[in-house]
Amino acid sequence: MPYINVGRENSGEVELYYEDHGSGKPVVLIHGWPLSGASWEKQTLALLNSGCRVVTYDRRGFGYSDKPAFGYDYDTFADDLHKLVSKLDLRDFTLVGFSMGGGEVARYLGKHGTRHVSRAVFISAVPPFLLKTDDNPQGIAKDVFDGFKFAIIQDRPAFLSNFLSNFYNVDVLKGKSITDQAVQASWNSAVVASPRGTIDCITAFSETDFRKDLQKIDIPTLVIHGTDDRIVPFPISGKLTAETVKGSKLVAIDGAPHGLIWTHAERANKELLDFLGVMKTEPAQVVAK
């Protein structure tokens, strides 16, 4: 499996797992919390079938990547991403961030600029700023995030089960656009993550202010968000991100939950492919002989 070295902790290296498939214009997919690059399954297939080169990777602490006890902040995440795209020598590439991954897109562009980046996409993403403060009164109270951390310390597997129910709006969408097995697959991915990283990432995505990062974006930008997102509410995230990034396109998917890249994949993929200017094609059919 391919890995890239992004640092060192004590006697060990810190390496990130990534996958690099297909050809054509590169699209880098950055996963959400507390999942891994595997969560992009439906988008990876659509992009490959449309002739794109698709790069996914597991954030430090998650999936197959190493699980250090440090580095769970957006400056480090952006630097990790920069090391990956530099190693792969990507040009004219698109950054797509889901949920927490949208923070990587914002901070990467704010810190490293748009050189070689042609487009940006935010899906169910955490920017501009989730935390309720004096200058962000519509945000979410810190007590909510502190409650997440406490519940994780008490029983992380149980917390993940409850969290993913709201992630996919299972009470409404079960049997329609989400199955028990799909939720279980997400739980299986989340439960192998670093407990320390899982907690520290809550601080990162809740307390990092991306407003200045968004203001620096000067490339075509697409924002996709569900109107029924219970994790990152649309009015304080997708709507405001689209208002902050000049010339961006906003797609609000009616009734979609936070995890719309699975539940509403067909609509999300169509919007993504249209934005990239590529045509959806059917996968090759295998005929048994």
Is 283 in contact with 45 (CB distance < 8 Å)? yes
Q: In Å, how far from its chain's centre is CA 47? A: 16
- Return the active site residues: 99, 229, 258
Is 115 in contact with 125 (CB distance < 8 Å)? no
Q: Which two structure tokens, joined as six digits, stand for 232?
A: 């990152």
Buried b (16+ CB within 10 A) or exposed e, 61-84: bbbbbbbbeebbbbebbbbbbeeb
H/E segment holding residue 261: helix 260-263
First vs last C-alpha separation in the chain: 32
Phi-psi region of 174 (alpha: psi -120 to 50; beta: other; left: phi over 0): beta
Rounded Cα distance between 193 and 33, Å, is 10
Whether a cis peptide bond, with omega within 30° of 0, leads into 128 is: yes
The amino acid occupying position 122 is F
For 236-248, the DSSP string reads: GTHHHHHHHSTT-
Nearest to 262 by CA among 185, 198, 188: 185
Nearest to 54 by CA among 37, 67, 70: 37
Q: Which two structure tokens, joined as six digits, stand for 211?
A: 């407003």
- Any residues with CB less than 8 A from the CB of 20 and at least 6 apart, and which? 2, 53, 54, 55, 88
